A = this chain, B = another copy of it.
Amino acid sequence: MKAGKRREAIVVAATECFAEKGYHATSISDIIDSAGIARGTFYLYFKSKHDIFRFILDDFIKHIGDQIKRISLAGRVSPADQMRANVERLVDAVLERPAPAKIIFNEAVGLNPEIDDRLRSFYGKLILMIEKSLARGITLKIVREVDPRLAATIIIGAFKEVMIQKIVFKQSRFSRKAIVDGLINVLVGGLGGRPVIGI
């Protein structure tokens, strides 16, 4: 088998295992059984269990990051449409690769300082991006006056939880369109009726 293919096969098998059982409960035996290779072969491609986990994480983090395009005020596409496109791409990225998404959303903290740092930095960057975007929106009066960091945190949290419900708990009611619409509707328009009184 070609080396690239085999490596890919190991990654697929490992991703499946990690998604299903979590990092700790997944043993090298699980991965190699799932990939149909010998013990030593695994270590030909990855130098440790952490190594492959980190690889899967980094790979998916990069993929997710690539979906987010900076919103431009110059073009002929409205900022709202650009934002919707961002959300759509993100949702699609997660739905297309639910296994690594499951890993990244579930295996939060406590695995290992290095991986914790990676996740922390990933979410940190994401929040910062949104924070800046919101701050810009506030200046332009297209976003209400709120603490942009807090709002960014809320957005991330909302997105994460909705995706977890979808891919981990198989919440079938959440179709792609329902998710995108719901997230934008609630986060942009708010839950309050007219006039806002309470829940």
CB within 8 Å of B: which residues of A? 21-25, 71, 78-84, 105-112, 120, 124, 127, 133-134, 137, 141-144, 146-147, 149-151, 153-162, 164-165, 168-169, 171, 173-174, 178-179, 182-183, 185-194, 196-199
With A141-B193, A158-B158, A183-B154 as contacts: A134 and B199 at CB distance below 8 Å: yes
Number of this chain's copies in the complex: 4
Contact, CB under 8 Å: A143 / B188: no
CB distance from A83 to the nearest CB of B (A): 5
Contact, CB under 8 Å: B190 / A110: no
Per CB-CB distance, the 4 closest pairs between chain A and chain B, nearest first, are A22-B110, A157-B161, A190-B190, A80-B198
Residue of B nearest to A103 (CB): B110
Q: What's the dominant secondary structure at chain A's contact region? A: helix
